Amino acid sequence: MRRLAQQQELPFRTTYKWGGAREGAGRPKLERPKGLPHSTRPYHDRHHPVHVTWRVVAGLPSLRRKPLARAIGHTVRGINLRQLRERTSFRIVHFSIQPNHVHLIVEAGSKMTLGRGLRGLGIWLARRVNEVVGRRGKVLADRYHARDLMSPREVRNAIVYVLQNHLHHQPSVYLVDECSSARWFAGWEQPLPVPATPSPVRRPGTWLARTGWRRYGPIRFSERPAA
C-alpha cells in the first residue's frame, strides 16, 4: 500500500474531440430570404397620407378574378368599418387590386396606429384569399412597402397611380377600374353615376388627401400613372 501511495503520478493530458474554434463548428447560419429589408419603420407624420404596396406569393391566381377581387374589396370595407367602430385614426381612402399586388392610400394618426392597422389588414386579406382559393399557407410575399406623401403634388400623383394602375397591367374595359375604389372617387374630371353599393373606403381626414391635391386639377379618365 505504501509503495502504491509513493508512486509518482504520470502527467497525462486529457484530449477532447469536441469544442473549440474550428471550421464548421456551431449552429448553422440561416440565410435571410430575399425581399424588403426588415429595418425599423421610419417616423410617420399624421398629416401625411401613405402609399402602400403589398405583393402576394407566386402561384396564386390573379387577384383581379371576380371572386378574389370581391373578397378583397369586402375585406377593405370590413377593416374600415371596424376601425371606425373602434374610433382609431387608421383609414383606407383609396385602393386598387392588380394581378399580384394591391395598392392602398391610407391615413393614420401615428406610426403605431399605421402598423397595427396594416397588420390587421394583412391578416384578414390572407384569410379571405385562402378561403376563396381553398388553400392554406402564406399569401403576402413580404413586408409592405410604404411611402409618406408630403405634398399636394405627391398625393395627386399617388391617387393617379393607385386608381389608374390597371393601365400598366390589365386595362379595364370600363371607364374606370372596377377592381378599385375608383367608382366612389369624387375627384374625376366628370362625375360618375352614384354606385348602388356603399363605398368600401373612408373619406380622407388629412388636408392633403381631402383638399390639397385638388389645387392641381381633377383627374382625367385618360390620365396614366407615371412609370
Q: How far is CA 150 from CA 48, 58, 132, in A?
A: 6, 33, 37
User: How many structural domains does the chain have?
Assistant: 1
Smallest Cα–Cα separation from 102: which of 137, 146, 151? 146
pLDDT band at 63 (very low <50, low <70, confident <90, very high): very high
Q: Which residues contact 61 (CB under 8 A, 6 or more apart)?
A: 68, 133
Per residue in 136-148, pLDDT (tens digit) is: 999 998 789 999 9
Is 52 a member of any domain?
A: yes
In the predicted structure, residue 4 carries a pLDDT above the cut 90 = no
Is 38 a member of any domain?
A: no
In the predicted structure, residue 96 carries a pLDDT above the cut 90 = yes
How large is the average pLDDT for residues 29-47?
63
Is 85 a member of any domain?
A: yes
Is 136 a member of any domain?
A: yes
Higher pLDDT, 97 or 9: 97
Name the least confident of 17-26, 94-103, 182-191: 17-26
pLDDT band at 24 (very low <50, low <70, confident <90, very high): low
Per the CB < 8 A criterion, the answer to whether 176 and 191 are in contact is no
Per-residue pLDDT, 32: 44
Is 20 a member of any domain?
A: no
Per-residue pLDDT, 90: 97
Per residue in 130-178, pLDDT (tens digit) is: 999 999 999 998 789 999 999 999 999 999 999 999 998 788 899 999 9
Q: Is 167 exposed, middle or buried (0-12, 13-18, 19+ CB in 10 A)?
A: middle
Per the CB < 8 A criterion, the answer to whether 138 and 60 are in contact is no
Please give the grid coordinates belonging to residue 97: 387590386
CATH of the domain at 139: 3.30.70.1290
> Exposure string (b/e) for 99-112, b if CB count within 10 Å is 16 or more?
ebbbbbbbbbbeee
Smallest Cα–Cα separation from 203: which of 104, 91, 116? 91
Residue 209's domain spans which residues? 45-216
Is 21 a member of any domain?
A: no
Is 3 a member of any domain?
A: no
Per-residue pLDDT, 155: 98
Please give the grid coordinates belonging to residue 133: 382559393
For residue 61, which phi and psi values (nearest 5 degrees)? -65, 165
- Rounded distance, CA 117 to CA 93, Å? 13
